[in-house]
Amino acid sequence: MLAFTDTRKIALSMLFSMSVKETASMALHRGVVPCSRTRVSLPHRLGEAYSESHPMNRIYLDNNATTAVEPEVLDAMLPYFSGEFGNASSIHAFGQKARSAVETAREQVAALIGARAQEIVFTSGGTEADNHAIFGIVRAPAETSAARPHVIATSIEHEAVLNACQAMEKEGVDVTYVAVDRAGRVDPQSIRVALRAETVLITVMHANNELGTIQPMEEIGRIASQADVYFHTDAVQAAGKIPIDVNAFNVDLLSLSGHKLYAPKGIGALYIRGGTRLRQLLFGGHHQRGARPGTENVAGIVGMGKAAQIAKESLAKDAKQVAALRDTLEQGSLQRVPGSRANAAGAARTPNTTNITYPGIEGEALVIALDLKGLACSTGAACSSGAVEPSHVLTAIGLPPDQARASLRFSLGRHTTPAEIEAALQIIPAAVAQLRDLSPTYRREAGAEANR
Ligand code: PLP
């Protein structure tokens, strides 16, 4: 475990020619969530000055974290904040306009994944959809009668699934976390082997948020249906990037999130195959046939519907264009940064994602350094108890903690341009070289390598 230490504070202050005191005071302006009391944050003021002095505007390569709302999506939503403000449950004209908009959106979301409109339940996002699917199955009356229900998940699921599984374990549910290979792939055979008589649910994400690795949905679906076990997939990072067909996958439950799809944050959906008996997560009114009580977020739902419609129409074109740019970024970065390695590059991946290890640097320091140069990307590291924990996904594919901490995720979007990728390929090697120059360990190791 590595705290964001004074050494890193000093390194950053040297890198950006600021005093250590100045560096520390920046936290006040920037608002990066501190990992520990000693953690440094850099000022918005400085970041802006840096990017403004750069011959381009900011470059956003963090689309797996969230996407910008598509202008057409915003246009579709706006009337539902003002003139069309009705409650979709009301029987008067205001309400009926809202109801009609919600039902159109349900059809649009269903069309993106090959489902029927009545199988879509809108939620507050991907996290709620995942929780609803998992708790809904495990706590369903038919399943809770099992002495000790059993769930199969993978070791690289998003926290929305992993933490739900861990909460269930505390309630007496057994969970098997199936391992993945070095590219983050699940072997369907290991799912078959993990099955027990008590297994009630298999939950395997469609595409991983950090690596982009795509799992063999059809094969896992076949295993689940042969075993007569419910199959849930978290498709939050797959939707809009790669085709989804709930029938080809044989999934019973599938989670979606609006804000990964150019719709706003705070809206998502859960596909529930007709006939699936799910215990509801929330209790309240009769909205969405009682499956998800709560007054519908009409504007958000309309936005998600529009975003799904655009994604369906432009998926093939977007995927081709984004994959070409991602490959240029990945290859260029590997060529220009000595010792760098792409993770999971051999696997089928979402077209927009690349994860690269830059030995000798701290991922967090590099993210900040790149941000100051106008480039936004991320690490998979998580803050925990005042320390930076390496990503559970990268350690699951076998990276030692120091390499996992030295890895960055770049996730492109529909609007990423070739010029931005070219600029990123200037910025990244320079920032890595600067940080490596400040690292005594890296300099020592590089010197030893050169003398060999
Ligand atoms: N699942 C995956 C794979 C994700 O990447 C995310 C968000 O990062 C979620 C679930 C959670 O979605 P939301 O932010 O809509 O709650």
pLDDT digits (tens, 9 = 90+) for 330-350: 999 999 999 999 999 999 999
Burial class (CB in 10 A: 0-12, 13-18, 19+), 56: middle
Distance 234 CA to ligand 1 centre (A): 8
- Collapsed DSSP state (helix, strand, coil) of residue 142: helix
**Do the beta carbons of residue 237 and residue 267 sit within 8 Å?**
no
| CATH fold for the domain made of 71-311 | Aspartate Aminotransferase; domain 2 (3.40.640)
- Which atom of ligand 1 is the closest one to the Cα of 266? 15
Band (47; pLDDT cuts 50, 70, 90): very low
Find all residues with CB under 8 Å of 297, minimum gap 6, and list them.
122, 124, 266, 267
Out of 24-38, 224-238, 242-256, 423-437, pick the least confident: 24-38
pLDDT value at residue 371: 97
Per cent of the chain over pLDDT 70 is 83
Instruction: Give nearest CA residue, ligand 1 atom 12.
Output: 126
**Statement: residue 154 has pLDDT above 90:** yes
* Alpha-carbon span 386 to 34, nearest angstrom: 8
The one-character DSSP state at 349 is B
Is 383 among the catalytic positions? yes
- Which atom of ligand 1 is the closest one to the Cα of 259? 15
* Alpha-carbon span 183 to 437, nearest angstrom: 30
pLDDT value at residue 381: 65
Cβ atoms within 10 Å of 415's Cβ, excluding its own: 14
Residue among 209, 254, 255, 262 to mutate when testing ligand 1 (max atoms within 8 A of CB): 209
Tens-place pLDDT, residues 6-16: 445 544 554 55
The one catalytic residue in 35, 165, 377, 383 is: 383
Distance 233 CA to ligand 1 centre (A): 12
* Alpha-carbon span 351 to 376, nearest angstrom: 18
Instruction: Give nearest CA residue, ligand 1 atom 5.
Output: 209
Instruction: Give nearest CA residue, ligand 1 atom 14.
Output: 126
**Statement: residue 377 has pLDDT above 50:** yes
**Statement: residue 328 has pLDDT above 70:** yes
- The one-letter amino acid code at 94 reads F
Beta-strand pair 59-60/375-376: parallel
pLDDT value at residue 290: 84
- Cα 287 to Cα 133, 306, 364, 401, 417: the distances in Å are 18, 21, 43, 46, 42
Per cent of the chain over pLDDT 90 is 77
pLDDT value at residue 9: 52
Band (108; pLDDT cuts 50, 70, 90): very high
Long-range contacts of 290-298 (CB under 8 A, 24+ apart): 291/121, 292/121, 292/122, 292/123, 292/132, 295/87, 295/88, 295/89, 296/88, 296/89, 296/98, 296/102, 296/122, 297/122, 297/124, 297/266, 297/267, 298/80, 298/84, 298/86, 298/88, 298/98, 298/101, 298/102
pLDDT value at residue 147: 76
Where are the domains positioned within the chain?
A: 6-67+315-451, 71-311
**Do the beta carbons of residue 239 and residue 260 sit within 8 Å?**
yes
For residues 375-402, average pLDDT: 85
Band (382; pLDDT cuts 50, 70, 90): low
Q: Which CATH class is domain 6-67+315-451?
A: alpha beta
pLDDT value at residue 279: 92
Give the chain's mean pLDDT: 88
**Statement: residue 150 has pLDDT above 70:** yes
**Do the beta carbons of residue 268 and residue 257 sit within 8 Å?**
yes
* Alpha-carbon span 285 to 298, nearest angstrom: 16
Residue given tokens 């689309």 in the structure block? 63
**Statement: residue 314 has pLDDT above 90:** yes
Out of 24-38, 73-87, 167-181, 426-440, pick the least confident: 24-38
**Do the beta carbons of residue 258 and residue 265 sit within 8 Å?**
yes
pLDDT value at residue 268: 98
Of 143 and 128, which is predicted with more confidence?
Answer: 128
Question: Do 71-311 and 6-67+315-451 fall under one CATH topology?
Answer: no
- For the chain, how many helices (H) and strands (E)? 18, 14
Band (41; pLDDT cuts 50, 70, 90): very low
Residues in contact with ligand 1 by the CB-under-6-Å rule are 125-127, 130, 158, 160, 205, 209, 234, 236-237, 257, 259, 268
